[in-house]
Structure 1
Amino acid sequence: MNDSAYRVETAPRLAQWRVDAFSSSSYRKSDPFRIGLWNWHLTVERNKHLLVKLYPEVSNLTREQPPIASFVIKLVSTSSPNRKTIVHPVIFDKQLKSNDDFVWAVENFFSGRFIVDVEFLDLKIASPSGGEPSSIWNSYNIEKQSAATALTCFSRMLSEGIHTDIIINATDGSIGAHRAVLATRSPVFQSMFSHNLKEKELSAVNISDMSFEACQAFLNYIYGDFKADEFLTHRLALLRAADKYDISDLKEACHESLSEDIDTKNVLERLQTAHLYRLPRLKSSCMRYLVSFSKIYEIHDDFNAFLQTADRELIAEIFQEVLAAWKT
């Protein structure tokens, strides 16, 4: 059979698959075809009934944001002169993840060649942050493009120093920034610029505990210009700044990242950091690494030195973990 037997013709919201020479007991799967954000497949299988399936191709996008589809699907005979048609009732807002999520069993089916015709009325995806699913055609692409454009503009405002009105002084350099952006992202900055404090009067903020590069990474994050390499390099400095200026999303991002690469060289520093900045997940991960996996014995000397300077409350928590492990 030639390749065209599996090809699906598409328009922006329409897909048609012409099925020829389909025997009384057989199965056929279409080539993938693109509608919306996903690749799709159609299958037909004839046994007692004709089974028609529509489903998205397996991918990370399908797993993370499966389509919520509204569509009309019908079978059109191309063998009969009057093009006999069988139409399935309209499907509304059905989530499709696997090849069993939509199965149409057609009992009184005609013989000969036919077309599987699918017209998508809408395709939606659920927002990762929750709320009602949104249509990819009505709002998703426009919203995505708008957000990307806005972030690009914010990045240029910072990198090109467009109409800056505040100076951020780090330990070894200064960066021009914008009060409105800083105040929007941080209640601490908002308070500074709303009251008659020296920062408002001098149009400058001194961040004396951050290097220029760390401060640049901090501002890049605030302005939406995230750079993975500088984030990883300056995580601890970014965590301190996020805590100091009450930027909860940055603090959580640092918390998550610091929990992902604990090893014997950094576990004690991470444990101290977790205790100081109230990061329960990081603290739990460090404790488990040290006690449950017995890494505490591999860094015996470093651990003894750590005990000489660590907070007493933290030391007590460590020994409680050790005692609990011995009991089990």
Structure 2
Amino acid sequence: MADSRVETISRLAQWKIDNFGPCSYKKSDPFKVGIWNWYLSIERNRYLYIHLFPEPSRASKEHPPIARFILRVSNTGSSRRFYISPVHERLLRTCDDFVWPVDTTFVGRFIIDVEFLDLKICPLNGGEASSIWPSDGKLQSVAAQSALQCLSRMLDEGIHADLTINTAEGTLRAHKAILSASSPVFQSMFHHNLKEKESSTIHIEDISLESCTALLSYLYGTIKQEDFWKHRLALLGAANKYDITGLQDTCEESLLEDLNSGNVLERLHEAWLYQLPKLKKGCLTFLFDFGKIYDVREEINNFFRHADRELMIEMFQEVLTIWKPV
């Protein structure tokens, strides 16, 4: 029947009913919104009852929808009246899951509009429902992922690379713009009339080729977790040398995460060398507050022979603080 058809555009569905009597039931044809087919049905028994439900299918069984929507009913006469529902949010499986009673005497021709504000998939095994429509956050995530893929290709394939990096073990190709945007030190090299600007070559010979590759991967946003962990100390040194603040902070947080008796003295040295207050405080707390100083008794003598005098004073003051009488 012609008046069973539901027109859809975007997230709106509209059902125009040409003939509906005082005691009738009518069901629409299926219409698709999102990944589901839907039905509207109406019946009159004092009130006008409007049902909205998904078509029984594999999609609605395995991925039942949580719909957030508004309904509107209006007549088509010259004195047009509207009945607008509150915003509903329901898990919809069957025709009994949602019904809206409308106290109206509409007969003959009228219109039912449904606006879907959101549609989420309800996971059968629990967990948080996820929207099928991209939000601003998802759009940003998709855009960021696309940008990272482009940057990865630029680095891996040397697309329009205009910079050569010489390390002690080989050379790498990169882009002045990327390095300049990441580091004020690199930016200064290429902005002023320094030799790096003229030759389009820089020398990074104090870290290995592999570590320099990891550094570039970080600057291009494509570094893998295992590569970051493997080259943390080298990356920390590069971050300090080239004033890459974000990388230095990330390295500091990471070095604090896996502190243990086997590495605490090395980490304390790095913290002092690169002026990392959180890491230094963490190392001192680990050694003195938690008593791990006794686990490194054999290593501590060698550490003191090479430690900076001011660091030794700080360690001594930490001991006095711990042993201070209450």
TM-score normalized by the length of structure 1? 0.64
After the TM superposition, which residues 296-307 of structure 1 pair with which residues of structure 2 at under 5 Å, given as runs?
296-307=293-304
The aligned counterpart of 1:251 is 248
Give yes or no for contact 2:70–2:117 (8 Å, CA) kept in 1. no
Per-residue CA deviation, residues 236-291 of structure 1 (Å, 9 max, x unaligned), is 00011111111111111111110110111110010111122121221121111111
Give yes or no for contact 2:271–2:279 (8 Å, CA) kept in 1. yes
The aligned counterpart of 1:149 is 146
Report the AA paired with residue 311 of structure 1: D
Separation in structure 2 between the aligned mates of residue 287 and residue 196 of structure 1, nearest angstrom: 45
Question: Is 2:159 the counterpart of 1:162?
Answer: yes
Give yes or no for contact 1:122–1:137 (8 Å, CA) kept in 2. no
- Which of the numbers 73, 79, 98 marks the counterpart of 1:116? 98
Separation in structure 2 between the aligned mates of residue 319 and residue 88 of structure 1, nearest angstrom: 72
Separation in structure 2 between the aligned mates of residue 319 and residue 31 of structure 1, nearest angstrom: 67
Give yes or no for contact 1:13–1:120 (8 Å, CA) kept in 2. no
Give yes or no for contact 2:170–2:209 (8 Å, CA) kept in 1. yes
Displacement after TM superposition at 1:231 (Å): 0.8
Q: Which has the larger radius of gyration?
A: 2
Give yes or no for contact 1:169–1:175 (8 Å, CA) kept in 2. yes
Q: Secondary structure at the match of 1:259?
A: helix
- The alpha-carbon distance between structure 1 residues 324 and 167, as it changes in their structure 2 partners (threshold 3 A), is same
- The alpha-carbon distance between structure 1 residues 88 and 275, as it changes in their structure 2 partners (threshold 3 A), is farther
Segments of 5+ residues of structure 2 without an aligned counterpart are: 1-30, 39-51, 55-59, 72-82, 100-113, 120-131
Give yes or no for contact 1:166–1:176 (8 Å, CA) kept in 2. yes
Per-residue CA deviation, residues 109-145 of structure 1 (Å, 9 max, x unaligned), is xxxx73327965259xxxxxxxxxxx96364443322
Displacement after TM superposition at 1:165 (Å): 1.0
The aligned counterpart of 2:185 is 188
Give yes or no for contact 1:73–1:119 (8 Å, CA) kept in 2. yes
- Which of the numbers 274, 277, 285 marks the counterpart of 1:280? 277
Give yes or no for contact 2:69–2:118 (8 Å, CA) kept in 1. no
- The alpha-carbon distance between structure 1 residues 312 and 31, as it changes in their structure 2 partners (threshold 3 A), is farther
- Which of the numbers 321, 325, 328 marks the counterpart of 2:322? 325
Per-residue CA deviation, residues 297-316 of structure 1 (Å, 9 max, x unaligned), is 11112112111111112111
The aligned counterpart of 1:12 is 34
Report the AA paired with residue 298 of structure 2: D
Q: What is the percentage of aligned positions where both structures have the same residue? A: 47
Segments of 5+ residues of structure 1 without an aligned counterpart are: 1-8, 19-29, 41-53, 55-70, 75-85, 92-101, 104-112, 124-134
The aligned counterpart of 2:235 is 238
- The alpha-carbon distance between structure 1 residues 90 and 162, as it changes in their structure 2 partners (threshold 3 A), is same
Question: Is 2:300 the counterpart of 1:309?
Answer: no
Corresponding pairs, count: 236
Displacement after TM superposition at 1:152 (Å): 0.9
Separation in structure 2 between the aligned mates of residue 276 and residue 31 of structure 1, nearest angstrom: 60
Separation in structure 2 between the aligned mates of residue 287 and residue 227 of structure 1, nearest angstrom: 30
TM-score normalized by the length of structure 2? 0.64
Separation in structure 1 between the aligned mates of residue 150 and residue 270 of structure 2, nearest angstrom: 35
Separation in structure 2 between the aligned mates of residue 34 and residue 193 of structure 1, nearest angstrom: 57
- The alpha-carbon distance between structure 1 residues 285 and 12, as it changes in their structure 2 partners (threshold 3 A), is same
After the TM superposition, which residues 117-132 of structure 1 pair with which residues of structure 2 at under 5 Å, given as runs?
120-121=116-117
Report the AA paired with residue 198 of structure 2: E
Displacement after TM superposition at 1:223 (Å): 0.9
Q: CA RMSD in A?
A: 3.2
Separation in structure 2 between the aligned mates of residue 151 and residue 207 of structure 1, nearest angstrom: 24
Give yes or no for contact 2:239–2:248 (8 Å, CA) kept in 1. yes
